[in-house]
Every structure is written in structure tokens, then in C-alpha cells.
Amino acid sequence: MKPLVFTLKQEPDQRLDLAPLVPHLLDGQSAKEIAEIELQTTRERATVGDTFKIRPGSAESIRFEGGSTRLDNIGKDMKAGEIVVEGDCGKSFGRSLSGGNLVLTGECGPFAGSAMSGGRLEIAGDAGDFLGAPLEGEMEGMTGGLMIVRGNAGERVGDRLRRGTIVIEGSAGDYPGSRMIAGTLIVLGECGTLPGYLMRRGTIVLANPPELAPTFVDCGLHELAFAKVFSGLLRPESRAAARLLSRPLARFAGDMAALGKGEIFFPA
């Protein structure tokens, strides 16, 4: 099946909202109709045709050739199918993703995978702050699916994570897993200060933990069947994460300043 390809003509001179360019909204539209979709965020009109060269194909599989940090909301509300972005993108990449496969080869801004509820999101480069987090005023962040960042992530990754799995193969900034409600967050590189700050439930696995807050309490070194199962399930996605989970892990329970039913694991 031939993909629908959008080739970026040049760096846009304003931020663009690419939320309309997802499989379920483009399904059945002709190239001409797609070219007329408006993307501007200022008073200056900017259509898809102005910004991209369109190579028609099945909307089930969309490719962006060339990216820019000014392209926001790529893959927003995506339900199924696939989007591959070859290049960088701006904020809210894959926000509210609920199904399908969303891949970015470059870097992205803040709120990537924000409040996603299903599907798979992969970022080959670095991700900005608030990965998977809720926007201001929302009660929960990511509530399902799988998110993989091959590079580094910014601060507050997995804020208010509710369900689903986040794997960061590089390093994470300060407060990873802050206010976590449940779910799983794995960081394979370095990690900033105070992981799991005010987390209620959920699991954080850190390859190189910083000093934990005193509100995390030592529960000893364990080899748990669940870690082995997750290791097996994650192996096709991240071999390094699978290796980390197959080691004996020290368990710290917390954050005792909140509910205290969460946990931070790290290899001893």
C-alpha cells in the first residue's frame, strides 16, 4: 500500500497546527481537498498545499518528509494507521493518541504523547519536557499504550501517568514520574533530581538513580516474576530495557508524602 507523503517545501514562517493531518480525518479525501486544508495559527493563511508537496497515497499510512520545530500537533487524536515523520517537530506530538503507530526520526518539543491513551509512539531523537503529561487543568496524563524515546527526555516526563508504559533509552530531566497515578516509566540513562515526586502508585525503573527523596523507603532487593514478564514483553521494542528488567532490582516504595503505593526499582 502506497503511503500518503507530505514533503516540506521550506521552513514555515509561522507555527502550524497539523492536527487535521491524521489518517481518520484524511480518509477518502482527494489530494486537491487535502491541499486546501488550513493549518495557520496566525492571521496569515497557510494551507497544506502551500506548505507541503503532496504525493497521493493511502491515508492509512502517512509520511512527512522533512520536519520543523514549528510543526505542532502531528498525530493529534490519531486512532489507527501509521504516521512517520522524517525530521523534527514541535509541541504536542501525538497528543491524545489512542491507536496506531506514530514514529518520529528527529526531535520534538514539549507535551509529546500528552494524555495518550493507546497505540505506540516512538521518538528516535530527544523529547522535550512533559512527555506524556496532562495539559494545565487536566487530571491525568498518559492513560495507555507504549511510548519509546531513543534519545533524552526533558523534565517531568510521565507527569500524572495513569496507565501504559514509557521507555526512555537516554536520560531524563528533573522530576521524572512526578505525581504518577499508576503505569510504568523506565529510564535507561541518567535521571534528574527527585524521581517519582508525589507519586501515588505505579512503577519507575531507573538504571542510574540519583539520590532518592527521604519519602521513598527501602523494601530490599528482589527478583520478581513481573519484571521478567515485562522484560520479555519489552524485548522487541527495547533490548536495553529488557536487560535492565531481567536483573535483580532494589525496591523503594513511595512517595510516602502522597499515597505511597508506588515504587522505584533500580539494579543494586
Binding span for other proteins by CB under 8 A among 17-25, 48-56, 60-68, 160-168: 160-168
- Tell which residue, 132, 120, 38, has the closest CA to residue 92: 132
Select 9 or 228, whichever has its Cβ closest to other proteins. Answer: 228
Backbone angles phi, psi at 24, to 5 degrees: -70, -20
Closer CB to other proteins, residue 72 or residue 122? 122
SS (H, E, C) 209-223: CCCCCCCCEEEEEEC
Q: How far is CA 40 from CA 17, 36, 139, in A?
A: 6, 12, 29
φ, ψ dihedrals at 267, nearest 5°? -70, 140
Length of the chain in terms of residues written: 268
Q: How far apart, in whole angstroms, are the C-alpha atoms of residue 252 and residue 45?
A: 54
Task: Report residue 81 as a C-alpha cell.
Answer: 494507521
Q: Per-residue contact track with other proteins, 86 to 125, x per CB under 8 A?
A: ----------------------------------------
What is the number of H-type helices and E-type strands within the chain?
A: 5, 15
Stretch of 4-12, 47-55, 186-194, 226-234 contacting other proteins, by CB under 8 A: 226-234
Residue from 9, 32, 222, 239 touching other proteins (CB under 8 A): that is 222
Q: With beta carbons less than 8 A apart as the criterion, state whether 190 and 169 touch.
A: no
- Stretch of 62-70, 107-115, 170-178, 228-236 lying at the interface with other proteins (CB under 8 A): 228-236
Nearer to other proteins, 107 or 140 (CB): 140
Binding test (CB under 8 A) with other proteins, winner from 96, 203, 215, 238: 203
CB of 264 to other proteins, least distance (A): 13
Question: What minimum distance in Å lies between the beta carbon of 167 and other proteins?
Answer: 11
Q: Which stretch binds other proteins (CB under 8 A): 50-58, 67-75, 128-136, 227-235?
A: 227-235
Among 55, 201, 243, 247, binds other proteins (CB under 8 A): 201
By CB under 8 A, tell whether 165 contacts other proteins: yes
d(CA 187, CA 208): 8
Options 163, 200, 243, 247; binder of other proteins; rule CB under 8 A: 163
Q: Tell me how far apart the alpha carbons of residues 102 and 80 are, in angstroms, rounded to a whole number.
A: 9
Residue 10 CB coordination number (10 Å): 8
Q: Provide the binding-site residues for other proteins, judged by CB under 8 A.
A: 144, 146, 163-165, 182, 184, 201, 203, 222-226, 228-234, 246, 261
